[in-house]
Structure 1
Amino acid sequence: MAKNKFHDGPGPSQRQLRVGELIRRTLSEVLARGDVHDPDLNRLSITVGEVRTSPDLKIATAYVLPLGGKGQDEVLKLLARNKGELRRVIGKKVGLKFSPDLRFRLDETFDQMDDTRRLFEQDAVRRDLDE
Protein backbone atom coordinates (compact mmCIF):
# COMPACT_ATOMS: atom_id res chain seq x y z
CA MET A 1 0.00 0.00 0.00
CA ALA A 2 1.41 3.40 -1.00
CA LYS A 3 1.99 5.97 1.69
CA ASN A 4 -0.03 9.15 1.52
CA LYS A 5 2.35 12.11 1.28
CA PHE A 6 0.33 13.94 3.91
CA HIS A 7 0.37 11.17 6.54
CA ASP A 8 3.85 9.67 6.67
CA GLY A 9 5.16 10.89 9.99
CA PRO A 10 4.19 13.24 12.74
CA GLY A 11 3.68 16.14 10.33
CA PRO A 12 5.49 19.45 10.03
CA SER A 13 6.86 21.14 13.14
CA GLN A 14 5.65 24.56 14.28
CA ARG A 15 8.92 25.99 12.99
CA GLN A 16 8.38 24.46 9.54
CA LEU A 17 4.83 25.83 9.42
CA ARG A 18 5.92 29.30 10.57
CA VAL A 19 8.82 29.53 8.11
CA GLY A 20 6.69 28.11 5.28
CA GLU A 21 3.99 30.73 5.86
CA LEU A 22 6.58 33.50 6.06
CA ILE A 23 8.12 32.38 2.75
CA ARG A 24 4.62 32.09 1.19
CA ARG A 25 3.70 35.66 2.14
CA THR A 26 7.06 37.03 1.02
CA LEU A 27 6.97 35.14 -2.30
CA SER A 28 3.41 36.36 -2.92
CA GLU A 29 4.46 39.98 -2.29
CA VAL A 30 7.55 39.69 -4.48
CA LEU A 31 5.53 38.23 -7.36
CA ALA A 32 2.65 40.71 -6.95
CA ARG A 33 4.96 43.75 -6.91
CA GLY A 34 7.07 42.51 -9.81
CA ASP A 35 10.34 42.65 -7.87
CA VAL A 36 11.93 40.13 -10.25
CA HIS A 37 13.85 41.37 -13.28
CA ASP A 38 11.89 39.23 -15.75
CA PRO A 39 9.12 40.95 -17.72
CA ASP A 40 7.62 37.59 -18.73
CA LEU A 41 7.15 36.63 -15.08
CA ASN A 42 6.04 40.10 -13.97
CA ARG A 43 3.15 40.19 -16.45
CA LEU A 44 1.53 37.16 -14.82
CA SER A 45 -0.64 37.05 -11.73
CA ILE A 46 0.40 34.04 -9.64
CA THR A 47 -1.25 32.71 -6.49
CA VAL A 48 1.01 31.06 -3.93
CA GLY A 49 -1.32 28.72 -2.05
CA GLU A 50 1.15 27.07 0.29
CA VAL A 51 4.86 26.63 0.97
CA ARG A 52 6.08 23.43 2.62
CA THR A 53 9.58 23.26 4.03
CA SER A 54 11.78 20.26 4.67
CA PRO A 55 12.52 19.48 8.34
CA ASP A 56 15.98 21.09 8.04
CA LEU A 57 14.46 24.14 6.25
CA LYS A 58 16.89 23.72 3.33
CA ILE A 59 14.15 23.06 0.76
CA ALA A 60 10.95 25.07 0.32
CA THR A 61 8.31 23.76 -2.08
CA ALA A 62 5.90 26.46 -3.23
CA TYR A 63 2.49 25.38 -4.55
CA VAL A 64 1.49 27.96 -7.15
CA LEU A 65 -1.29 28.58 -9.65
CA PRO A 66 -1.58 31.27 -12.32
CA LEU A 67 -4.72 33.40 -12.16
CA GLY A 68 -7.47 31.61 -14.05
CA GLY A 69 -5.42 28.40 -14.16
CA LYS A 70 -4.18 29.03 -17.72
CA GLY A 71 -0.50 28.79 -18.66
CA GLN A 72 0.48 26.48 -15.81
CA ASP A 73 3.50 24.97 -17.58
CA GLU A 74 4.76 28.43 -18.58
CA VAL A 75 4.48 29.66 -14.97
CA LEU A 76 6.52 26.73 -13.66
CA LYS A 77 9.21 27.32 -16.30
CA LEU A 78 9.39 31.05 -15.56
CA LEU A 79 9.59 30.50 -11.81
CA ALA A 80 12.31 27.86 -12.28
CA ARG A 81 14.22 30.22 -14.58
CA ASN A 82 14.12 32.95 -11.89
CA LYS A 83 14.68 30.63 -8.93
CA GLY A 84 18.07 32.09 -8.01
CA GLU A 85 16.85 35.68 -7.92
CA LEU A 86 13.70 34.70 -6.00
CA ARG A 87 15.83 32.79 -3.51
CA ARG A 88 18.10 35.80 -2.93
CA VAL A 89 15.18 38.22 -2.51
CA ILE A 90 13.33 35.91 -0.13
CA GLY A 91 16.51 35.21 1.86
CA LYS A 92 17.09 38.93 2.32
CA LYS A 93 13.47 39.74 3.24
CA VAL A 94 12.79 36.73 5.49
CA GLY A 95 16.11 36.96 7.33
CA LEU A 96 16.89 33.26 7.62
CA LYS A 97 20.46 32.16 8.26
CA PHE A 98 20.33 30.04 5.07
CA SER A 99 17.98 30.74 2.21
CA PRO A 100 16.16 27.53 1.22
CA ASP A 101 16.33 26.00 -2.24
CA LEU A 102 13.02 26.85 -3.92
CA ARG A 103 10.97 24.29 -5.79
CA PHE A 104 7.72 25.02 -7.58
CA ARG A 105 4.72 22.71 -8.04
CA LEU A 106 1.21 23.30 -9.31
CA ASP A 107 -1.35 23.83 -6.56
CA GLU A 108 -4.04 21.25 -7.22
CA THR A 109 -6.18 21.94 -4.13
CA PHE A 110 -8.73 23.94 -6.15
CA ASP A 111 -9.21 21.01 -8.55
CA GLN A 112 -9.56 18.65 -5.58
CA MET A 113 -12.18 20.92 -4.00
CA ASP A 114 -14.17 20.97 -7.27
CA ASP A 115 -13.98 17.16 -7.49
CA THR A 116 -15.17 16.84 -3.89
CA ARG A 117 -18.02 19.27 -4.50
CA ARG A 118 -19.12 17.29 -7.58
CA LEU A 119 -18.95 14.07 -5.57
CA PHE A 120 -21.23 15.46 -2.85
CA GLU A 121 -23.73 16.60 -5.48
CA GLN A 122 -24.29 13.05 -6.76
CA ASP A 123 -27.70 11.59 -5.84
CA ALA A 124 -26.26 8.35 -4.44
CA VAL A 125 -23.88 10.23 -2.15
CA ARG A 126 -26.64 12.61 -1.01
CA ARG A 127 -28.85 9.63 -0.17
CA ASP A 128 -26.07 8.06 1.91
CA LEU A 129 -25.38 11.29 3.75
CA ASP A 130 -29.06 11.85 4.58
CA GLU A 131 -29.41 8.43 6.18
Structure 2
Amino acid sequence: METTRQAKISRLLQKELSEIFRQQTAKLRGVLVSVSAVRVSPDLSVAKAYLSVFPSDKAEEMLDSINHNSKTIRYELAQKVRYQLRKTPELTFYLDDSLDYLENIDNLLTRDKEAHPGRLDDAVAEGNHDA
Protein backbone atom coordinates (compact mmCIF):
# COMPACT_ATOMS: atom_id res chain seq x y z
CA MET A 1 0.00 0.00 0.00
CA GLU A 2 1.42 3.32 -1.08
CA THR A 3 1.43 6.06 1.55
CA THR A 4 0.22 9.59 0.87
CA ARG A 5 3.81 10.85 0.97
CA GLN A 6 4.94 8.24 -1.56
CA ALA A 7 2.05 9.18 -3.85
CA LYS A 8 2.89 12.89 -3.66
CA ILE A 9 6.57 12.28 -4.38
CA SER A 10 5.68 9.92 -7.24
CA ARG A 11 3.50 12.59 -8.85
CA LEU A 12 6.20 15.24 -8.37
CA LEU A 13 8.90 13.03 -9.90
CA GLN A 14 6.62 12.05 -12.80
CA LYS A 15 5.86 15.69 -13.57
CA GLU A 16 9.50 16.79 -13.41
CA LEU A 17 10.85 13.80 -15.36
CA SER A 18 8.22 14.45 -18.04
CA GLU A 19 9.42 18.03 -18.26
CA ILE A 20 13.07 16.91 -18.56
CA PHE A 21 12.23 14.49 -21.39
CA ARG A 22 10.05 17.12 -23.10
CA GLN A 23 12.96 19.57 -23.09
CA GLN A 24 15.28 16.90 -24.51
CA THR A 25 12.93 15.92 -27.37
CA ALA A 26 15.07 17.75 -29.97
CA LYS A 27 18.12 15.74 -28.91
CA LEU A 28 16.21 12.45 -29.00
CA ARG A 29 16.13 12.36 -32.81
CA GLY A 30 12.37 12.49 -33.32
CA VAL A 31 11.53 10.05 -30.54
CA LEU A 32 8.88 10.95 -27.99
CA VAL A 33 9.40 9.71 -24.43
CA SER A 34 6.58 10.01 -21.93
CA VAL A 35 6.60 9.05 -18.27
CA SER A 36 3.53 6.90 -17.65
CA ALA A 37 4.15 6.19 -13.95
CA VAL A 38 6.66 6.55 -11.15
CA ARG A 39 6.76 4.26 -8.11
CA VAL A 40 8.78 5.24 -5.04
CA SER A 41 10.09 2.77 -2.44
CA PRO A 42 8.80 3.13 1.14
CA ASP A 43 12.12 4.63 2.30
CA LEU A 44 12.04 7.07 -0.67
CA SER A 45 15.54 6.02 -1.78
CA VAL A 46 14.60 4.35 -5.08
CA ALA A 47 12.20 5.48 -7.78
CA LYS A 48 11.10 3.28 -10.68
CA ALA A 49 10.03 5.30 -13.70
CA TYR A 50 7.93 3.60 -16.38
CA LEU A 51 8.42 5.11 -19.83
CA SER A 52 6.44 4.91 -23.05
CA VAL A 53 8.50 5.48 -26.18
CA PHE A 54 7.06 6.42 -29.58
CA PRO A 55 7.82 5.03 -32.12
CA SER A 56 7.96 1.77 -30.20
CA ASP A 57 10.53 0.17 -32.53
CA LYS A 58 13.18 2.46 -30.98
CA ALA A 59 12.11 1.75 -27.40
CA GLU A 60 14.96 -0.59 -26.42
CA GLU A 61 17.58 1.72 -27.92
CA MET A 62 16.13 4.72 -26.08
CA LEU A 63 15.86 2.84 -22.79
CA ASP A 64 19.53 1.85 -23.04
CA SER A 65 20.49 5.46 -23.74
CA ILE A 66 18.37 6.76 -20.86
CA ASN A 67 19.78 4.18 -18.43
CA HIS A 68 23.30 5.07 -19.59
CA ASN A 69 22.57 8.74 -18.79
CA SER A 70 20.59 8.11 -15.59
CA LYS A 71 23.12 9.97 -13.40
CA THR A 72 22.79 13.10 -15.54
CA ILE A 73 19.00 12.81 -15.50
CA ARG A 74 19.07 12.37 -11.71
CA TYR A 75 21.21 15.50 -11.38
CA GLU A 76 18.79 17.52 -13.54
CA LEU A 77 15.88 16.17 -11.50
CA ALA A 78 17.65 17.09 -8.25
CA GLN A 79 18.02 20.68 -9.46
CA LYS A 80 14.27 20.86 -10.10
CA VAL A 81 13.10 19.28 -6.82
CA ARG A 82 15.81 20.51 -4.45
CA TYR A 83 13.34 22.63 -2.46
CA GLN A 84 10.78 19.83 -2.14
CA LEU A 85 13.06 16.85 -1.37
CA ARG A 86 16.16 16.55 0.78
CA LYS A 87 17.55 13.63 -1.18
CA THR A 88 16.73 12.68 -4.76
CA PRO A 89 15.98 8.96 -5.12
CA GLU A 90 18.06 6.64 -7.30
CA LEU A 91 16.31 6.31 -10.66
CA THR A 92 15.68 3.10 -12.55
CA PHE A 93 13.86 3.19 -15.86
CA TYR A 94 11.59 0.54 -17.32
CA LEU A 95 9.59 0.27 -20.53
CA ASP A 96 5.84 0.54 -20.12
CA ASP A 97 4.47 -1.58 -22.93
CA SER A 98 0.85 -1.47 -21.76
CA LEU A 99 -0.16 0.63 -24.79
CA ASP A 100 1.39 -1.94 -27.14
CA TYR A 101 -0.47 -4.66 -25.25
CA LEU A 102 -3.79 -2.80 -25.60
CA GLU A 103 -3.14 -2.20 -29.29
CA ASN A 104 -2.45 -5.92 -29.77
CA ILE A 105 -5.73 -6.84 -28.03
CA ASP A 106 -7.61 -4.32 -30.16
CA ASN A 107 -6.06 -5.78 -33.34
CA LEU A 108 -7.01 -9.31 -32.25
CA LEU A 109 -10.60 -8.25 -31.56
CA THR A 110 -10.82 -6.47 -34.91
CA ARG A 111 -9.42 -9.51 -36.72
CA ASP A 112 -11.89 -11.81 -34.91
CA LYS A 113 -14.78 -9.50 -35.75
CA GLU A 114 -13.76 -9.51 -39.44
CA ALA A 115 -13.40 -13.31 -39.44
CA HIS A 116 -16.78 -13.85 -37.75
CA PRO A 117 -19.06 -10.97 -38.80
CA GLY A 118 -22.35 -10.79 -36.95
CA ARG A 119 -21.36 -13.29 -34.24
CA LEU A 120 -21.40 -10.74 -31.43
CA ASP A 121 -24.51 -9.02 -32.79
CA ASP A 122 -26.39 -12.36 -32.90
CA ALA A 123 -25.38 -13.21 -29.33
CA VAL A 124 -26.55 -9.84 -28.03
CA ALA A 125 -29.85 -10.14 -29.90
CA GLU A 126 -30.46 -13.59 -28.35
CA GLY A 127 -29.66 -12.27 -24.89
CA ASN A 128 -26.54 -14.44 -24.56
CA HIS A 129 -23.85 -12.16 -23.16
CA ASP A 130 -21.26 -14.95 -22.82
CA ALA A 131 -20.23 -14.83 -26.50
TM-score for both structures, normalised by structure 2 = 0.73
Deviations 1:25-79 (A, max 9, x none): 10111111129xxx4x465320110111111111111101211212111111111
TM-superposed CA distance for 1:86, in Å, is 0.7
Map of 1:106 onto structure 2: 95
Alignment RMSD, CA only? Answer: 2.8
AA in 1 matched with 2:55: G
Map of 1:91 onto structure 2: 78
Map of 1:46 onto structure 2: 33
Larger Rg: 2
Map of 1:130 onto structure 2: 129
SS at match of 2:73: helix
Deviations 1:84-113 (A, max 9, x none): 111111112112101110001000221343
TM-score for both structures, normalised by structure 1 = 0.73
Q: In the alignment, does 2:59 pair up with 1:72?
A: yes
Map of 1:34 onto structure 2: 24
Structure 1, unmatched stretches of 5+, are 1-10
Q: In the alignment, does 2:11 pair up with 1:24?
A: no
**Percent identical residues:** 27
Measure, in 1, the Cα distance between the counterparts of 2:17 and 2:55.
Answer: 19
TM-superposed CA distance for 1:14, in Å, is 1.3
Structure 2, unmatched stretches of 5+, are 114-119
Measure, in 2, the Cα distance between the counterparts of 1:33 and 1:12.
Answer: 30
TM-superposed CA distance for 1:116, in Å, is 5.3
Map of 1:55 onto structure 2: 42
